[in-house]
Amino acid sequence: MTKQYVVLAAGVLCVSFAALFIRLADAPPLVIATYRLCLASIVLLPLSWRHIRYDWLHLEKRELLMMLLAGIFLAVHFGLWITSLSYTSVATSVVLVTVSPIFLAIASRFLFAQKLRRQAIAGIIISLGGAVLISYGNWQLGEKPFEGAMLALGGAITISGYLLVGQRLRSEIGILTYTSTVFGTAAILLLIFTLAWGYTLTGYSGTTYIMVALLALVPQLIGHSSLNWALRFVPATLIAVAVLGEPVGAIIWAYAFLGESPTAPEIAGGVLILSGIFMAFKSGVTGQTIRQD
């Protein structure tokens, strides 16, 4: 297995911890997302400041604007997806937000002349079927199902935009400069959203603050940084397919740390997701250029 796939797998594994940390944090979802990005940015900035100062002097205006756009996509993704949880069920929201590989496959076809092979398309369908199966036991309409569905779909579209911009820029911009700028932009926007929504950032339990710190460190700093690093080598569509493995990791961590035994549909869905990911990566896409350095 090549290095980029090892890093990608590690990134998905780290991102899958997010559900566990969020469940153990007793705070509104938007507050949790704000802490996630703000703490990650605070840690990342001192480590990358030298790179940022040098790179920004040599960046074209287009590249800077595109990084800011990626940060906007990431912030809006969190805002839309988290808000959707208030209108529809977690299961419905998760299934709809995971359709991003479909949007990415269409966009990549026109933007990068990358076309999925039939086996890769079959892998995506199988993985999406697994996600539906995992969510089957918790399926319900919610209080405002249409609004919730539209918000979740908006989350899928914006995470697709986030990955597409990353694929375009990561061949030109270093990982520290890219992640610092994108995470920082998202952090500022989420902070504005949270305060405008009337939420407070103080008064929560010690456990909650520990969980949001872990959320910033593991899923965001390590997980998302690994995904962004892999974007230099792996097409965005396949990155999104790999991220479909996140619910499988979440089930494993829920069993290991919370004692929640997986149900038969969850086990079957997990097998389908992993099988679909394997099929998609084995087939790949046409017109792609996979770097090896």
Contacts of 288 (CB under 8 A, 6+ apart): 112, 114, 235
List the one residue out of 231, 222, 266, 221 whose CA is nearest residue 248: 266
Residue type, 140: Q
pLDDT of residue 140: 56
pLDDT of residue 252: 87
User: How much of the chain exceeds pLDDT 70, in percent?
Assistant: 90
Which pTM does this prediction carry?
A: 0.86
List pLDDT tens digits, range 94-139: 777 778 888 888 887 777 767 778 888 888 889 888 887 876 665 5
Average pLDDT, the chain: 85
What 43-49 contacts at long range (C-beta under 8 Å, 24+ apart), as own/partner pairs, is: 43/216, 43/217, 43/221, 44/176, 44/179, 44/180, 44/183, 44/184, 44/221, 45/180, 45/184, 47/176, 48/176, 48/177, 48/179, 48/180
pLDDT of residue 31: 95
Domain boundaries, the chain: 3-286
Tell me the average pLDDT across 8-24: 89
List the one residue out of 183, 166, 182, 235 whose CA is nearest residue 39: 183
